[in-house]
Chains A and B, each alone.
Chain A
């Protein structure tokens, strides 16, 4: 936020006389959204944890290859995308537009790779192993319901994130938007990464085939 903008806010009768959190409204808004979205995922993960722990015939179908190898690699991809996003935000704050846009594109490429690898995994489960949200060959049907529910909602977030970053990269490159917009989109992206840090161990690692 530029200094003149800040002065405008401080002088406005609605400002409360100051900027108590020293962030702009976009960033505060994104943080509040992240808190509410984290509660959505918490509710899903907590109910998943309950059915996982209390169901005796929970299937453990995930072999090292493909499921665990692929999902570990997806974790690496998502963590790396967060790193490029951090570099993109800091380049944007230094005013290096080209560099920031390149980092944003790299982040989008990682995100897209994540979705594509995830899609191949879904394909294996659905087509080759006949898992659906209401049935599977191994045990309780809750397995498919919780698996597709949790990973599907997360995949939706990643897909929306890739589109969001694309719009921001385009607008920032054109000079339509500022480094603040890049930073706020970064917050969303890191949150998607953070959610995967819970889904990966709870959904995949609690259903590995221990052989």
Chain B
């Protein structure tokens, strides 16, 4: 094995083909184009942010599973990383939004 060598093929690691990665890239671009199109559709802002974050979650899932290889890793690694991260973000959402809206209602009327 050379200094640079890495016996990926011997590991039985399926790392995805060039064609697959180009397709993922095309999908990411299409979803971005959809987001830009929606930005001009004059939707109500709560609906708009929900749609945009939803599309962004799909895009980040594509990036994590293919570009960041998570789809080709052992399931244990995915279970170590993703549920904990999602849980922490949900805790932030659950704690942050109701509390900040409550604080806003405590403002003296202007």
Interface set of A (CB-CB < 8 Å, partner B)? 2-3, 20-23, 28, 31-32, 35, 38-39, 42-43, 46-47, 49-50, 52-54, 68, 72, 75-76, 79-80, 82-83, 85-87, 90, 92-95, 97, 172, 175, 178-180, 183, 186-187, 190-191, 193-194, 197-198, 200-202, 204-206, 208, 210
Contacts and interface: CB of A to CB of B under 8 A. Distances in A.
Contacts, number: 154
Given A39-B85, A79-B25, A210-B42, A87 B18 contact: yes
Nearest to B41: A210
> Dominant SS at the B interface?
helix
Contact of A190 (B63, B74, B97): B63
A210 B60 contact: no
Given A46-B93, A205-B39, A80 B81 contact: no
Going nearest first, the 10 A-B pairs with the smallest beta carbon separation are A205-B39, A201-B52, A179-B6, A21-B77, A175-B3, A190-B67, A197-B59, A93-B8, A22-B74, A83-B25
Nearest to B55: A201
Among A68, A183, A201, A204, the one with the most B-chain Cβ atoms within 10 Å of its Cβ is A201
19 contacts: A21-B80, A39-B85, A46-B92, A46-B97, A50-B97, A52-B45, A72-B36, A86-B21, A95-B4, A175-B3, A187-B68, A190-B67, A193-B63, A194-B60, A194-B63, A198-B56, A200-B32, A200-B35, A201-B53
